[in-house]
Amino acid sequence: MFTDIARVVRAAALPDADLEADPLDPAKVVSGEPEVRVLALHDAGVHDGPGGGGVAVGVWQHSAGVSRDVEADEIFVVLSGRATVEVEGGPTLEIGPGDVGLLPAGARTTWTVHETLRKVYVVA
């Protein structure tokens, strides 16, 4: 757990070096050479799959490129960048700074990141 003290994280202004590299599985990369970086702020027992439980909060960044994912229940706020998120069997979301996004668990998504995207996420 990372929330044992009160603090402010200036997430939009963090240098890339302050986020830890989180390499994508090559099978998830559709095109380009996207790089993912993350800063975990809180992790209280989030597990993959149904019935996992817990909450995770952090900063996530994805450089330009296209990748696929299977989502967990997530709400996020975009801090910077632009992307198109195609939800299989659902809508296509155009996201940018200030947008709040909601993704249901199990959603199969394709992320086309046009400009390096940085978001704050809450995953349950």
Q: Which pTM does this prediction carry?
A: 0.88
β-pair type (100-103, 29-31): unpaired
The pLDDT value given to residue 6: 84
DSSP annotation string for 49-92? STT----EEEEEEE-SEEEEEEPPSEEEEEEEEEEEEEETTS-E
Mean predicted lDDT score pLDDT of the chain? 92
Q: Which domains does the chain have, with CATH numbers?
A: 11-123 (2.60.120.10)
Per-residue pLDDT at 77 exceeds 50:
yes
| Backbone angle region of 89, left / alpha / beta, with phi > 0 → left and psi within -120 to 50 → alpha | left
Per-residue pLDDT at 124 exceeds 80:
yes
**What phi and psi values does residue 26 have, to the nearest 5 degrees?**
-55, -30
For residue 14, the number of C-alpha atoms closer than 13 Å in the C-beta half-sphere is 22
Query: Which residues share a beta bridge with 57?
Result: 42, 122
The pLDDT value given to residue 44: 77
Q: How confident is the model at residue 3 (pLDDT cuts 50, 70, 90)?
A: low
Per-residue pLDDT at 82 exceeds 90:
yes
Per-residue pLDDT at 8 exceeds 60:
yes
Q: How confident is the model at residue 52 (pLDDT cuts 50, 70, 90)?
A: low
